[in-house]
Amino acid sequence: MRVVTSSAFSLLTLTPLVDGFRKLYSKINVHLTLAERHIDLVEDGYYVGIVTAFMVSSTALVERPVGLNALVPVATPAFIAQHGLSAAPADLQNMSTVALPNDIRSSSWHFRHKLGSSDQVNLTPVYSVNSALMVLLATLRDMGFSILPEGIVANDIKDGTLVRLLPDYAVNDPEMKVSIVYPGRQYLPAKTHFFIDYALERLTREINSAGLKPDEIFRQQQAAFAPSSASSSSASVTATAH
């Protein structure tokens, strides 16, 4: 069974997912592909996709929401010692950044302060590569700061290898949405149903550590980024992987 997923997911999440599924269904072989590009699930021959919002756009797919893969700006302590600690999103424009290329992720970023103000910044990376894991490795080499899914940097933040920048701000990005998608055919192979049910239950539990259901999380996120009723200010301030 061919499954495609974003490399933005932590390998510490994906490996136990496949291992747990194989322990339940040992006769089903899994071929997992990591990708960052836009994919056509049917044309590319995948049974299931575990994807973020930008990766698929076909209306012929069934989408099952899993949760939100929050994005956070991070840098190493050494990088911060050399370039200083950013106090506002506009400060990021004066720092070297490592990022996914523009054809995968826009260079425009929207931040929302916990008190309600919003900022938009445009960042020009000194190094871009179409793999979130490669972006992480470059960040760990002090090449620049990056904005990455929380799932793949959580352990580095916990042990002090990376520091979260702008802790009073949240990144407002629709691409944080994570879904399981599959072709909208009336009859799916049994193995596809087995994997979808298993992955949905496990990933929903792991990604949504607060224990909220996906629809509750999306409502909560929408509310968090809705325009504040109070007055708020707004400022505008290549390697290849399959």
- 164/178 same-domain check: no
The pLDDT score that the predictor gives to residue 57 is 63
| In a domain? residue 19 | yes
Residues 98-157 have pLDDT tens digits of 998 887 778 899 999 988 889 999 999 999 998 888 999 999 999 999 999 888 898 899
- 30/94 same-domain check: no
Closest CA to 75 of 13, 19, 172, 148: 148
The pLDDT score that the predictor gives to residue 232 is 38
* Secondary structure tally for the chain: helices H, strands E: 6, 14
The pLDDT score that the predictor gives to residue 146 is 97
Residue 56 belongs to domain with CATH number:
3.40.190.10
The pLDDT score that the predictor gives to residue 131 is 84
Q: What is the pTM of this model?
A: 0.72
The domain of 15 spans 2-68+174-224
- 58/11 same-domain check: yes
Average pLDDT, the chain: 82
The pLDDT score that the predictor gives to residue 178 is 85
The pLDDT score that the predictor gives to residue 38 is 78
| In a domain? residue 233 | no
- 131/209 same-domain check: no
- 79/159 same-domain check: yes
Ordered alpha helix ranges (H), the chain: 11-24, 77-83, 132-140, 150-158, 190-207, 214-224
Residues in the chain with pLDDT values less than 70: 8, 10-12, 54, 57-59, 174-175, 186, 208-242
The pLDDT score that the predictor gives to residue 209 is 56
The pLDDT score that the predictor gives to residue 67 is 81
Closest CA to 78 of 141, 170, 20: 141
The pLDDT score that the predictor gives to residue 59 is 67
Measured between alpha carbons, how far is residue 50 from residues 22, 156, 180 in Å? 17, 24, 5
Residue 160 belongs to domain with CATH number:
3.40.190.290
